[in-house]
A and B are shown apart, each in its own frame.
Chain A
Amino acid sequence: DAGVIQSPRHEVTEMGQEVTLRCKPISGHNSLFWYRQTMMRGLELLIYFNNNVPIDDSGMPEDRFSAKMPNASFSTLKIQPSEPRDSAVYFCASRPDGDNQPQHFGDGTRLSIL
């Protein structure tokens, strides 16, 4: 069974450019999460969706960040315009409904903004 799939694995772009990160959750998982990992702040939750609906976006750092989930098998995290301080590893995770179900993570996108 395929795990959570993220693309691209690496992205290097110049400041000011738009960046789009993609995620395909595990089939049958109803909740999807976007995390950011940095040295300073560790792993922090940005936003999560349940049944394609954004439930909590309080972790999104600012208006330059947006996330969508147009269907159960696809989500995007977009940064526009990007800044050097956005450089981090971005992880997507998914989990099925039900109590005490762990989240399963993709391998992340390493983003570098020059």
Chain B
Amino acid sequence: DQQVKQNSPSLSVQEGRISILNCDYTNSMFDYFLWYKKYPAEGPTFLISISSIKDKNEDGRFTVFLNKSAKHLSLHIVPSQPGDSAVYFCAASNTNNNDMRFGAGTRLTVKP
């Protein structure tokens, strides 16, 4: 039962350009959404989140957009840097964030 889907297993972009990672969810009860970044041999690191009362949240080079009607969120990274190369996981939960569901991840490669 995949409630959170990341349909692109990989994405490659040039340094300095925009990276757009996409995520879809099916459970309309989700109201808190997160992006995590994972390097090899490390745990996922929290990157940015958004609650369902907003449609955009920005933190430096990272912006998350939420389209509740489409049950879709995206992460924009601009400008992309080689150090951004990692696996990005989308996650969704209800507000208390105790039953968090993860997507399968998208491997981002930023080429110098």
Which positions in A face B, CB cutoff 8 Å? 4, 31, 33, 42-45, 48, 50, 55-56, 91, 93, 95, 99-108
Q: Which of B43, B98, B104 contacts A4 (CB 8 A)?
A: B43
B34 surroundings in chain A (CB, below 8 A): 102
**B44: shortest Cβ distance to chain A, in Å?**
5
The 6 closest A-B pairs by CB, nearest first: A105-B43, A43-B102, A102-B46, A107-B43, A99-B95, A105-B44
* Cβ-based interface call for B51 (8 A): yes
* Cβ-based interface call for B13 (8 A): no
B105 surroundings in chain A (CB, below 8 A): 42
Minimal Cβ-Cβ distance residue in A for B103: A42
Using an 8 Å CB-CB cutoff, how does the interface string of B46-70 with A read, 1 for contact, 0 for none?
1001010000000000000000000
* Cβ-based interface call for B20 (8 A): no
A102 vs B43: C-alpha distance in the bound complex, in angstroms?
Answer: 14
* Cβ-based interface call for B18 (8 A): no
B43 in contact with A101 (CB, 8 Å): no
A101 vs B95: C-alpha distance in the bound complex, in angstroms?
Answer: 9
Which positions in B face A, CB cutoff 8 Å? 32, 34, 36, 41-46, 49, 51, 89, 95-105
**B58: shortest Cβ distance to chain A, in Å?**
16
A99 surroundings in chain B (CB, below 8 A): 32, 95-97
A91 vs B34: C-alpha distance in the bound complex, in angstroms?
Answer: 17
Task: Given A43-B102, A45-B99, A48-B98, check contact A100 B43 (CB 8 Å).
Answer: no
A106 in contact with B43 (CB, 8 Å): yes
B101 surroundings in chain A (CB, below 8 A): 45
